[in-house]
Structure 1
């Protein structure tokens, strides 16, 4: 048995292998409602053999969307649309998962293939919010600094979205606190300039993330796993870094987080990232060893042998693949054969294997 194809048990859930579909925005929803595109996108990765199939960053409120075309879980119609997709993923043997998110100051932007600049309210956009003032970059919307009531609404929105995720049949929820979105904006001193209970020192900057986790755990059953995605570093001087990530992650087991999905960057446009194959994997390993919590590794993992090495070296407990699974939805099947592992094929496709 290879490590990549060894099952992973968390709470009452057993993942058939350690390949997860990283949440990847499709920018193809209407009013937050996923459609046939999302069913085929997620369903094909489940058919392809992934252990966890995670739906994209799904907004907990309308103003939490990255773009007007993002999916959501702020109303029951959206939950009802997700339900058959979660059921299909589960029927193929994968764990249906969803990432809950709020984009903060990086909200109200165009879909990427139209340029990513801000969308004005008169064109279907909205007023964006953040811990402090200051747009992400030129052409992005100017945020309004959140007051205590607004912060409370965000916490309530995450709680309500988690409840709807459960109603839709998802079996794993990930909270998005990475890539420069709202929770990450509160974590980093580069974007959190507050001097109240929600900013300043480290403990106050991590407060919103911890309160969101607690709110989600209030409604997310004890029997189901909860993950947190973080950016381990801002790749920018004076920002959030690996040391602070370890300090945060050391507190997560006690508040009900089962795994930290370790990514990096996305907070500021002047970040300096050293990109290369597996460039973010060492962050997952450092956090795993220092904070004693399971981790997921991401970032240009593109081959079966590379994924196997990440796991056997102890850098992570699971790998999350993005672009490689866009190119090849059947990567898990191909990897299993390369590594000599047994991964059942759907009976409808068996004659091809």
Structure 2
């Protein structure tokens, strides 16, 4: 049983608490706070409560904080999550830059490092009066294949108008990512992360199910990387050569949990290679449970391990670290604590990844990294009782 795993000692865990330099940024350890959308930014603006939330994670020993996903200024960038679309943060000029600067300053004052994750919800965006959802080919995916957690959302989105964007429309979205990256740098962030996973817009261009376009924005697997490549280039131009750029990708989609972006390591290399060449420094390989082999017919290597092996870039492993189950593997998302850091350490010692991204565990307990480092008992995760701003 995973709950009965041998708990590594603090001395054994020491390699995970060594510094790491990613371009011009050095982080004090390999424990990274994963991006988690929480809808706590009224009028798209983070307040003092959000600043305190991230400040406490910096105090808790987290090596690098990746913020909740932040939308661009494109009208279709974000929609309702069920908690109100106005509660999702945006980069949209001076007011948003000033608000995020206060967050960054609070984190830096505690010795922390922080980067924002930029996104565009694309076909996963709930429709509203401002603009329809935005998908490469006007397709959500097959709503019949949506996981139970997204079934109602899938029916609403797929039944709404979703026009096919023009080439010019797509170029406008790319430019919006560049402007958001510029805003992020003006706010003082230490680098940048891009959300290219889970069926959102960048991923929707990568996935053949939602991108059925011809050139210049579609075609075979390599051709479908063009949108991601152009976004990466636009962001790199704004953040410069000294700051790191992190890219999240996934096999699974919210439209279809069993989906595969790549069926084999060769297919994955064809997709990740152009992204690496465009300027990605670290691939955040999102899976629901970190210890899952990505291509069982090709060995035990994790998705993060394959990303590192195929591109030569750094990688991050994520999914259920410190918990008994991965995300969405229980109906109520309740997960027992499990000190599975022995499994994590084993993959790290094999050279599969450079950083470990921890989500729900740090969401619930801002001191989780310090506790893990000391070998203290780790808490379970219960969304019904957690205070998302602790």
Task: Report the TM-score when normalising by structure 1.
Answer: 0.84
Match of 1:133 in 2: 138
Measured after TM superposition, the shift of residue 171 of structure 1 is: 0.5
| Corresponding residue number in structure 2 for 1:344 | none
Q: Does 2:308 align with 1:288?
A: yes
TM-score by length of 2: 0.76
Between the aligned partners of 2:260 and 2:31, the Cα distance in structure 1 is: 34
* 1:235-259 Cα deviation digits (max 9, x unpaired): 5467544533322223344322110
Q: Give the corresponding residue for 1:172.
A: 191
- 1:64 corresponding residue in structure 2: 77
Structure-to-structure mapping, 1:33-112, within 5 angstroms: 33-61=45-73, 62-67=75-80, 68=85, 69-108=87-126
When structure 1 is superposed on structure 2, of 45-54 and 55-64 the one drifting more is 55-64
The match for 1:260 among 248, 263, 283 is: 283
**How far 1:233 moved relative to its partner?**
5.0
Pairing 1:321–2:341 present: no
Secondary structure of 2:115's match? strand
**Structure 1 SS opposite 2:57:** helix
Alignment equivalent of 1:152, drawn from 171, 176, 180: 171
1:7 aligns with 2:19: yes
Q: Flag the 1:278–1:128 CA change in 2: closer, same or farther, 3 A.
A: same
Q: 1:311 aligns with which of 345, 348, 358?
A: 348
Q: Paired residue for 2:201? A: 182
Answer yes or no: is the 8 Å Cα contact 1:278–1:301 preserved in 2.
Answer: no
Q: Is the 8 A contact 2:228 2:275 kept in 1?
A: no
Over 3 Å counting, the alpha-carbon distance change for 1:163 and 1:196 in structure 2 is same
Aligned counterpart, 1:193: 212
Change (3 A) 1:142 1:324: farther
- For residues 207 and 79 of structure 1, what CA distance do their matches in structure 2 show? 29
- SS of equivalent residue, structure 1 residue 129: coil
Distance 1:241 1:27, change over 3 A: farther
Q: Secondary structure at the match of 2:16?
A: coil
For 2:291 and 2:197, locate their aligned partners in 1 and report how far apart those are by CA, in whole Å: 18
Match of 2:42 among 13, 18, 30: 30
Aligned residue pairs, count: 316
Distance 1:250 1:180 in 2: 20
Cα offset, 1:327, TM superposition? 2.0
Tell me what 2:385 maps to. none
Change (3 A) 1:276 1:263: closer
Q: Which runs of 5+ in 2 are unaligned?
A: 1-10, 142-153, 295-300, 323-338, 377-390
| Structure 1 match to 2:270 | 247
Query: Any idea what the Cα deviations from partners look like across 1:48-103, whole Å, max 9, x if unmatched?
Result: 11010111110012421143121111222111100011111122122111001101
